[in-house]
A and B are shown apart, each in its own frame.
Chain A
Amino acid sequence: MPTAPVDNAPLRLPKMAAWRTATIDLLTPRQVQALALGLLIAIGICDYFAGIEVAFTLLLYLLPVCLVTWRSGAPIGLAFAALATASTALTALGFAERTRPWLVAWDAAGTFGVLVTVVFVLEKLRTYVEGERRQRRLAVDQLRHADRLNVIGKLAAGMAHELGTPLNVIAGSAELLQTRRLSSEKRRALVDTIHAQTKRMSRTIRQLLDFGRAAGSSKAPVELNELASVTKDLLSPVAQERGCSIQFEPAQSSIAVLANASEIEQVLTNLVLNGMQAMPNGGPLHLRTTVSSRTTAAGVEAPYACIIVEDEGVGISEEDLPHIFDPFFTTKDVGEGTGLGLSITYGIVQDHGGFLEVASRPHGGTQFSVLLPIPDPPPPTREA
């Protein structure tokens, strides 16, 4: 079953940024292999013609110099290194003795060249890595900004529809009252319409505020089996009316979390109502509590308190699945919801340091899992 992205999913960088990051490594594995083979051959040749000492001297100069100058293009380092190599080569071939002052100077210059090159390359690498970090931060910022704009755009579209339509009805009704000759019955009906539409707008605004409310609501130890059982009892009459039955399977042992009980109750209510609405012909709705382990953002396995709400309804299409937590996204019929329920649910669960998982198949039902962190040690709860 397809699974919607959860909040701890890694942020994907654009391809270009990923490629640039890869070049921070000095050499590709293939280049390292070729270089190692080349050096082995060079050492072998030198050893054969000039003895192992000269071979190692060459290795000492040539390896770092060739490597760093080739990657960095440091011209000064390359020039000095060439001097040092020439001096070593002359000595090796018997054209000069190492005691001669100009040869000693060449050697010194060569050593200096190596140092200069190394410093130059290190500096260049540092600048490069800094630049890469900056680029990465910029890319992430741009992605976040784009995402924010996307959310704002959706919010604006949703608000325009959810507030624009009732506003139009209010304005239209007022205009009709003002300009037309109407029966008293019709006038009363229009006033009722205005009243109902203002209530509708207030409800939408309140839901929006709930969605955007500040984090950090007061939390206390909550026993999830008890909370789920209470929610089940509260919603059972509604379920019966819709031809649904809530089947509750509590975990064998108690599960305690630190949470705002009324908010988690709101989460469960939203998910259970959602499940009922997904089953227009009724059916069983499963509510389970359990403990399940997940990988945290820090990359370690940790136990999570898990509340599962599973329906056997119409399911969610693959195209709709990534959008179900977007504000104002809804596939429901009019009157069934404004598309804020799951967004609010998502916000509440995030406020609690948890996350939501959803698995669905068109016509094969949907399973929502609410995962909340279990504090270590578990908080004490009052006896049920």
Chain B
Amino acid sequence: MQRRVLVADDDDAMRSTVAFTLDDEGFETIEAASGVEVLRLLETDDCCRTGQTPFDLIIMDIRMPGLSGLDTVRKLRALRCSTPVILMTAFPALETEEAAEALHVPLLAKPFALSELTALTQRTLASRAAP
């Protein structure tokens, strides 16, 4: 079954590059331009309440206007949405790393090689699938 990945980044070019790479790896990607849009997509499907999330993975930038990637993850967790998340950041400061660690979310530091992105995506999905 084709895995669905939600890619959220306010930067169009960055979002397209990530989405294209994953598409090419056989994933189905859906794009969102902000944290608010991510929440809207998940809330509309009422997936958080039912536990049936439409996405297998969310890859999201940390620095986004309105709602940051970290805040979006916090809101998702508050909504009991357990979809695994990978956060991307261009500035992995210590406090960012600590916040991501507290949320059990892996960080992908920009600029990264596309092979790193696909490897981390596979790894995160595999760990999710493991009992």
Contact = CB atoms under 8 A, between A and B. Distances in A.
B10 A334 contact: yes
A320 to B, nearest CB: 12
Given A157-B93, A171-B111, A176 B21 contact: yes
A169 B14 contact: yes
A173 B63 contact: no
A167 interface: yes
A334 B112 CA distance: 21
Contacts of A161: 63, 90-91
A331 B24 contact: no
Interface of B: 10-14, 16-18, 20-21, 24, 33, 63, 65, 90-91, 93, 110-114
12 contacts: A160-B110, A164-B90, A164-B110, A165-B90, A168-B111, A171-B113, A172-B17, A172-B21, A176-B20, A193-B13, A333-B10, A334-B12
Interface string A160-188: 11011111110111011000100000000
Contacts of A197: 13
Interface residues of A, number: 25
Contacts of A203: none
B64 to A, nearest CB: 8
A333 B11 CA distance: 10
Nearest to B108: A168
A156 interface: yes
Which 8 pairs across A and B sit closest by C-beta, in order of nearness? A164-B90, A168-B111, A160-B91, A172-B17, A161-B90, A334-B10, A169-B13, A168-B110
A213 interface: no
A332 interface: yes
Interface of A: 156-157, 160-161, 163-169, 171-173, 175-176, 180, 193, 196-197, 330-334
A350 B14 CA distance: 36
A168 B91 contact: no
Contacts of B14: 165, 168-169
B17 A168 contact: yes
Contacts of A175: 113-114
Contacts of A157: 91, 93
A172 B11 contact: no
B11 A165 contact: yes
A303 B117 CA distance: 59
Contacts of B65: 330-334
A185 to B, nearest CB: 13
B44 to A, nearest CB: 22
A180 B25 CA distance: 10
A172 B7 CA distance: 15
A180 B111 contact: no
A160 B13 contact: no
Contacts of B114: 172, 175-176
B99 to A, nearest CB: 15
Contacts of A333: 10, 65
B91 A156 contact: yes
Q: Report which residue of A165, A175, A331 has the largest number of chain B beta carbons within 10 angstroms of its beta carbon.
A: A165
A166 B17 CA distance: 11
Given A164-B90, A171-B113, A176-B21, 12 more contacts: A156-B91, A161-B90, A161-B91, A164-B110, A168-B14, A168-B17, A169-B17, A172-B17, A173-B17, A193-B13, A334-B12, A334-B65
Nearest to A168: B111
Contacts of A331: 65
B76 to A, nearest CB: 22
Nearest to A167: B111
A157 B10 CA distance: 17
B82 to A, nearest CB: 28
A55 to B, nearest CB: 70
Nearest to A334: B10
A167 B114 CA distance: 13
